Amino acid sequence: IPDMFWMKDVNGVYQSCNRVFERFFGASEANIIGKTDYDFMDKQLADASSANDQEAMNSGKPLLHEESVDFADDGRRVVMETIKTPIYDAQEKLLGVLGIARDVTARKAAEDEIRSLAFYDTLTHLPNRRFLIDRLRRALAASSRHQQKGALLFVDLDNFKTVNDTLGHHQGDQLLAQVGKRLSSCVREGDTVARLGGDEFVVMLENLSQDNLSAATQAEVVGQTVLAVLNQRYLLEDSEVLSTPSIGITLFGGNLDTDIDEPLKRADLAMYQAKAAGRNTVRFFDPAMQAVVVARAALEAALREAIRLQQFQLYYQAQVAADGTVTGAEVLVRWKHPERGMVSPAEFIPLAEETGLILPLGQWVLNAACMQLAAWGRVTATAHLTISVNVSAKQFHKADFVEQVLSTLAQTGANPRRLKLELTEGVLVDNVDEVVAKMRALKDRGVSFSLDDFGTGYSSLSYLKKLPLDQLKIDQGFIRDILTDPDDAAISKMVIALANSMGLGVIAEGVETQAQRQFLAELGCREYQGYLFGRPLPLNEFEAQLGKTALAP
């Protein structure tokens, strides 16, 4: 037989053994008979072996067990599967124990490999989705007993695709492996870090507080730690990269969940919420969120439809000079929703920006505004009027923005000198040089620029110096309480002084009262826009209003 075979008496003294046993222990049968395990095994193994002998003899039944044998001389570790059977003589007197042992090292290694492939991710050596689900199931069961909450943190890298595409898959893999290590460093023993695939990881926290709020706080702390740790630079083979995560968190357990998939779905949704909030951030799932997600999807679909069906209309709001004459209008888009009526841009512009729908919408606005400019240009009474068009960051940063504006001007026949583009500070935050180049290209043709909502963003004054602007627009937030809030007054005063010293025009938006206008005039601001002079109106009403106010000579 290919297996080891031996017999010992009741005292553990060898009575016989076969060739395989001889070979395994490197001794002849003659040298083994009459000895015990302690004569040729290390103490630990000999203790274990004789304990098994005793157990088999005491129970009177065959005993199957597995043991690892380490060979000190060549460092080899062998796993043996052993059956020890008590033996008796014809009178049922116990004689000793018969052992059979088989080397199962290779089979064990294969089993371990299969287990690892089935439950672990080969790249990061973290538990995979299947293992996570298994642990989550157990965690849910445990939690329904002791009522302590758990949390799932869904972690998705924000720019993994870029790393992979620019640095290659090899370094992409290195990044993922390092992310795995860092995540593992953020959790307590007993918590789980898993890789679902791609750049998606899940951290499962267990045994949090029973109370939802304190459990959420505990999870938030870990979420912030993960955020900070993953924000550190990564050293890859031949590059150093920054990679940020978006993290969605949900609580599970207690009696919250019956369906095993639900917590993962919630964490996933929360992660998307984190992405939508600008990435590199943590977002919690709460029941209201699902509703928000659904409503957003509906709004997005409706917005696409609206662009297809051209359900938009421009409203015109007068911009006036110091003497009250209308110098032009800002066009403000409205969505003529078939059921909801006029929808304010505040409701759909942010979504249009996120989804990229702002591009066709913005082009539509620009085109409509330029057509109107051209029409006004053909009539003496209105030929001097300017139109201000709001341009969103995404639109401005499009590679062909300059060409789009120029070709719209050319196609409509509008005078570029009457077109003013309103940018917000958000446009300026990245790539100032590109911004300046685009602005110059348009200014060369006569188009002018106003900085909208000035004072509400983060742009530094050094940016301002570089930009070829024509006008600053004081945000209505400062005008609202300008008469009562000394800070608002001081800021407005500062903006006006800044504009004057830089040779820029300045216009105040949101002017609603004569007192505000008076105050602004005293500070040196001579252009205004606001309900005091006219609300945003449909074209025909705006033109009617023009007829009543004194038009410039």
Look up residue 16 and give its DSSP letter.
E
Residue 182 in tokens? 């860092």
Q: Is the dihedral of CA 204, 205, 206, 211 positive or negative?
A: negative
Between 362 and 416, CB nearer to ligand C2E: 362
For residues 121 and 422, which CB has a smaller minimum distance to Mg ion in the complex?
422
- Give the total of residues touching Mg ion (CB under 5 A): 4
Cα–Cα distance, 281 to 271 (Å, whole number): 9
Residue 488 engages ligand C2E in binding (rule: CB under 6 A): no
Determine the Cα–Cα distance for residues 115 and 1; give it in Å rounded to an integer: 30
Query: Does residue 452 touch Mg ion according to CB under 5 A?
Result: yes
Residue number with CB closer to ligand C2E (268 or 453)? 453
What's the burial of 449, exposed, middle or buried (CB within 10 Å: 0-12/13-18/19+)?
buried
Query: CB–CB of 483/517 below 8 Å?
Result: no
Q: How far apart are CA 202 and CA 135, in angstroms?
A: 12
Nearest approach, Cβ of residue 393 and ligand C2E (Å):
9
Among the candidate windows 119-127, 189-197, 339-347, 379-387, which touches ligand C2E by CB under 6 A? 339-347
CA 81 to chain centre: 50
By CB under 6 A, name the one of 50, 143, 281, 390 that touches ligand C2E. Answer: 390
Among 37, 191, 206, 422, binds Mg ion (CB under 5 A): 422
Could you say whether residue 509 binds ligand C2E (CB under 6 A)? yes
CB-based burial of residue 547 (10 Å sphere; 0-12 exposed, 13-18 middle, 19+ buried)? exposed
How far is residue 470 from each of residues 452, 502, 505, 522, measured CA to CA in Å?
Answer: 11, 10, 6, 21
Query: Does 425 help bind ligand C2E (rule: CB under 6 A)?
Result: no
Residue 191 binds what, of ligand C2E, Mg ion, none (CB under 5 to 8 Å, by partner type)? none
State how far the alpha carbon of 317 is from the alpha carbons of 18, 285, 386, 541, 548, in Å: 103, 41, 11, 10, 15
Distances (CA, A) of 322 to 102, 259, 507, 509, 522: 101, 67, 10, 14, 11
**What is the distance, to the nearest Å, from the Cα of residue 133 to the centroid of all Cα atoms in its chain?**
22
| Pairing outcome for strands 77-88 and 94-103 | antiparallel
Does 317 bind ligand C2E (CB under 6 A)? Our answer is yes
Size of the site for ligand C2E (CB under 6 A): 24
Distances (CA, A) of 183 to 124, 129, 188, 230, 472: 11, 16, 11, 8, 47
Bridge partner residues of 64 (DSSP): 83
Is the Cβ of residue 128 or residue 390 nearer to Mg ion in the bound state? 390
Residue nearest ligand C2E by beta-carbon distance: 530
Judge contact between 343 and 372, C-beta under 8 A.
no
Q: Kindly state whether residue 453 participates in binding ligand C2E, applying the rule CB under 6 A.
A: yes
Output the CA angle 390-394-395, nearest 5 degrees. Answer: 55
Residue numbers 350-379 binding Mg ion by CB under 5 A: none
For ligand C2E, give the closer residue by CB, 249 or 358: 358
Using a 10 angstrom Cβ sphere, with 0-12 exposed, 13-18 middle and 19 or more buried, the burial of residue 520 is buried
Check residue 392 for interaction with ligand C2E (CB under 6 A): yes
Q: Which stretch binds ligand C2E (CB under 6 A): 99-107, 216-224, 286-294, 504-512?
A: 504-512
CB closer to Mg ion out of 422 and 425 = 422
**Residue 192 binds which entry of Mg ion, ligand C2E, none, with Cβ cut-offs from 5 to 8 Å by kind?**
none
Q: With contacts defined by CB under 6 A, name the span among 104-112, 251-259, 280-288, 338-346 that binds ligand C2E.
A: 338-346
Stretch that binds ligand C2E, among 65-73, 100-108, 344-352, 499-507 (CB under 6 A): 344-352
Q: What is the DSSP string of 102-157?
A: EE-HHHHHHHHHHHHHHHB-TTT--B-HHHHHHHHHHHHHHHHHH--EEEEEEEEE
- Binding of residue 346 to ligand C2E (CB under 6 A): yes
- For residue 433, give both structure tokens: 């040089």
Tokens representing residue 445 in the block: 């043709």
For ligand C2E, the binding residue among 85, 224, 367, 476 (CB under 6 A) is: 476
Supply the angle between the helices 358-377 and 345-355 in degrees, to the nearest 10: 120
Residues 206-235 touching ligand C2E, rule: CB under 6 A, are none
**Residue 123, class by beta-carbon neighbours within 10 Å (0-12 exposed, 13-18 middle, 19+ buried)?**
middle
Q: How many CA atoms lie within 13 A of 221 on its CB side?
A: 9
Nearest-angstrom CA–CA distance, 259 and 154: 18
Residue with Cβ nearer Mg ion (158 or 330): 330
Is 452 among the residues that bind ligand C2E (CB under 6 A)?
yes
Give least dist CB 150 to ligand C2E, A. 43
Among 387, 536, 542, 546, binds ligand C2E (CB under 6 A): 536
Burial class, 460, CB count within 10 angstroms (exposed 0-12 / middle 13-18 / buried 19+): exposed
- Residue 312 CB, shortest distance to ligand C2E, in Å, is 8
Rule CB under 6 A: say whether 365 interacts with ligand C2E: yes
Least distance (Å) between residue 390 CB and ligand C2E: 4
453 binds Mg ion (CB under 5 A): yes
- Whichever of 128 and 388 has its CB closer to ligand C2E, that residue is 388
Single out the residue of 174, 390, 395, 408 in contact with Mg ion (rule: CB under 5 A): 390
| 362 makes contact with ligand C2E (CB under 6 A) | yes
CB of 448 to ligand C2E, least distance (A): 16
**Segment near Mg ion (CB under 5 A), from 120-128, 301-309, 414-422, 539-547?**
414-422
Q: Which is nearer to Mg ion, 198 or 350 (CB)?
A: 350
Does position 349 bind ligand C2E by CB under 6 A?
yes
Return the number of the residue (472 or 489) whose C-beta is nearest Mg ion. 472
**Out of 58, 115, 531, 544, the residue judged to bind ligand C2E by CB under 6 A:** 531
Give me the residues that bind ligand C2E (CB under 6 A), please. Answer: 317, 332-333, 344-346, 349, 362, 365, 390-392, 422, 452-453, 476, 509-512, 529-531, 536
Give me the residues that bind Mg ion (CB under 5 A), please. Answer: 390, 422, 452-453
